[in-house]
Amino acid sequence: MNEVQLLFVVLAALYGWECACWLRRGAVAFSTWLGTGWRAWHPDTLVGNQNGGFMLAPPLPPLGTLFVANQFPLSLSTEGVLAFVATNVNPGWRPAQSGRFVSFDDLREARAHGIKVLVNGELLIKCSSAGLARRCVEQLQQLVRLQAPEREAVLAENLRGAFDAAAVDRLRQEFRRRVRAVRGLSNGLLGYGFGVVPAVIWHFGFKSSWLGLLGGLIGLTGATAFCFYRAHRALYPKAEDERFTHTLTILLAPTTAMRAHDALSRPLMEGFHPLTLAKVLLPENDFREFARRVLLDLRQPALPFCPNDSPAASETERLARGALQSEAEKFLKAAGIESDQLCRPPLPADETCRAYCPRCQAQFTTAEGTCADCGGLARKPFGPTG
């Protein structure tokens, strides 16, 4: 392998790395290649660790679209904030959470530092993105200024916002409009880097063509960075720091410029509950399956419900989970799905099955005992006709 070939191998490896997307637990990615068929990705299905896993964005033109939705990472009540959420939109284990509780009476200051949320100068939670950390801080700052009865209305309104399917649709339309130029340039850059450049070098030789090729590369990455900056400013007006970092990286790294549209799409839907994106994007059957697992977990999360022994923390967890479940069931009803019907018990897989787990639906040959995968939830026996 000569040096030019080695250069392309390195370029391809770097591009592959750019396609890899780290998903923190508590998040669900929704991706499409040609813009029609969407599928959901959880961090547990891929290479990863206890905090998350990788997924691969569609690597070939037209480079696809990737949105990431998050469950809100804090439990909020009118009394305080708990850095723990018992429910889990992903199959399997929960993300690591501190369980720290701060009452609003004691909350003096909340601020974001990158992906960290700091309360009274100490770490409350690490979010999956700087945007989500900012959202958490904005909510805390808003709630702490209000009296308890007013907080109730704000909490309900914020929760409704996470299930606003019409807002997802509007944002998606706007994204399509804003990303058009960036997507065109990213695709062009991919074709240029992996098609035009090798063909020209093969035909004319490296020495006589490198300067012209380099000029083309600089022109394309510069145009991508410019269009990215404009689209980012329109879609994320408050994210100046991220805009500066992304634009600079796109200018300096052609493989990052080839995936510039991902940096525009990934955080766009992070304020919505994954159920909302599943409704808008997934085919009906996939949505029902997705909704069933989310709702089973909401109704019966894995144990423990709260790792913090303080009564105020447990109460905040209970109230926040109750509000989330009620909003999710209302959302499903509006989508024509009856929650009780969706969560009906499974049929026994064979005649030896005596019980099932109410959360993960694993089946057992003995009725007594618990489900270890769900933190020790009691098994439920099948009915006499089951």
| Interaction site with Zn ion (CB under 5 A) | 357, 359-360, 371, 373-374
Give, as one character, the DSSP assignment of residue 86: -
Q: Which is nearer to Zn ion, 68 or 374 (CB)?
A: 374
**Burial group, residue 241, by CB count within 10 angstroms (0-12, 13-18, 19+):** exposed
Q: How far is the CB of 367 from Zn ion (least distance, A)?
A: 15
Q: Which is nearer to Zn ion, 15 or 364 (CB)?
A: 364
Spatial separation of the C-alpha atoms in residues 169 and 172, rounded to whole Å: 5
Q: Which is nearer to Zn ion, 155 or 355 (CB)?
A: 355
Q: Which is nearer to Zn ion, 253 or 360 (CB)?
A: 360
Q: Which is nearer to Zn ion, 172 or 359 (CB)?
A: 359
Tokens 């300067």 label which residue?
A: 211
Residue 91 tokens read as 């199959």
| Amino acid sitting at position 133 | A
Q: How far is the CB of 373 from Zn ion (least distance, A)?
A: 5
Q: How far is the CB of 308 from Zn ion (least distance, A)?
A: 23
Dihedral angle over CA of 343, 349, 353, 357, nearest 10: -30
* Residues counted in the chain: 386
Q: How far is the CB of 321 from Zn ion (least distance, A)?
A: 18
Tokens 């609003």 label which residue?
A: 104
Q: How far is the CB of 369 from Zn ion (least distance, A)?
A: 11
> Residue 338 in contact with residue 323, Cβ under 8 Å?
no
Q: How far is the CB of 374 from Zn ion (least distance, A)?
A: 3
Spatial separation of the C-alpha atoms in residues 114 and 129, rounded to whole Å: 8
| Dihedral over Cα of 78, 80, 82, 83: its sign | positive
**R_g over Cα of the chain:** 24
Q: Which is nearer to Zn ion, 158 or 370 (CB)?
A: 370
